[in-house]
Amino acid sequence: MSATDREESHRARMQRKKAVVDAAIARADRDQGLLLVLTGNGKGKSSSAFGMVARALGHGLRVGVAQFIKGRSDTGEEAFFRAQPGVTWHVLGEGFTWETQNLARDRETARRAWAVVAEMLGDPSLGLIVLDELTYALKNGWLDLPLVLADLAARPALQHVVITGRGAPDELGAAADTVSELRDVKHAFRAGVRAQKGVDL
């Protein structure tokens, strides 16, 4: 095939692709507050939620964030976003579950945390809400899943919610509009590199 034929063949292929993509875009014409779930063992779930916080702020939306499990408060994302106008930031956990080793206290912490979230879900001025690592509270049974799903379903129609964490329950995936599962193909931690500022925390 000559260079000119290759160019022509490439152009024809790309034109067909563009037609398919344009038709799909024309079919997708609704606006809606989305429920997104980012789960799986791979690196990047919470980061992805925080990237959406930046996107939302860039469009002038107000954002609420609740970090469920991490009791730590020296993360880069918290330092950065707390200093931004339009962001409400809650750290609601008491540390990772294997740190507390007390089931009753974990349940009580999760219950109080959800009360804070429920208030945000009732606030139509918030365009995006991030529930970081909520899945741990669900899969460990610290929170009542039907209550959580009901509060999510009753939120304002255009409010987006992003939920992160490993092992999202099937019912949460069923209620979601978009679900991505992050597969852990490779992780630097297993090669002996500790968590790095700016990437992992």
Residues 70 and 94 sit within 8 Å (Cβ to Cβ): no
Residues 185 and 148 sit within 8 Å (Cβ to Cβ): no
Q: Does 187 bind a second copy (CB under 8 A)?
A: yes
Question: Structure tokens of 167?
Answer: 């092992």
Q: Out of 69, 138, 163, 176, which residue is the one contacting a second copy (CB under 8 A)?
A: 176
Q: Does 11 bind a second copy (CB under 8 A)?
A: yes
Q: In this chain, which stretch among 64-72, 95-103, 115-123, 147-155 interacts with a second copy, using CB under 8 A?
A: 95-103
- Compute the least distance from the CB of residue 26 to a second copy, in Å: 10
Q: Does 85 bind a second copy (CB under 8 A)?
A: no
Q: In this chain, which stretch among 71-79, 110-118, 146-154 interacts with a second copy, using CB under 8 A?
A: 71-79
Residue 175's region, left for phi above 0, alpha for psi from -120 to 50, else beta, is: alpha
Q: Out of 91, 98, 119, 134, which residue is the one contacting a second copy (CB under 8 A)?
A: 98
Residues 80 and 201 sit within 8 Å (Cβ to Cβ): no
| Cβ count near 191 (within 10 Å) | 7
Q: Strands (DSSP E) along 53-143, which ranges?
A: 62-67, 87-91, 126-132
Q: Out of 5, 101, 115, 146, which residue is the one contacting a second copy (CB under 8 A)?
A: 101
Nearer to a second copy, 53 or 92 (CB): 53
Q: Out of 1, 2, 5, 24, which residue is the one contacting a second copy (CB under 8 A)?
A: 24
Site for a second copy in 109-168 (CB under 8 A): 127-128, 160, 162
Q: Does 72 bind a second copy (CB under 8 A)?
A: no
- Compute the least distance from the CB of residue 18 to a second copy, in Å: 4
Nearer to a second copy, 115 or 197 (CB): 197
What's the rounded Cα separation, in Å, for the pair 68 and 96? 9
Pick from 136, 52, 158: which is nearest to 148 by CA? 136
- Compute the least distance from the CB of residue 78 to a second copy, in Å: 7
Burial class of residue 98, CB neighbours in 10 A (0-12, 13-18, 19+): exposed
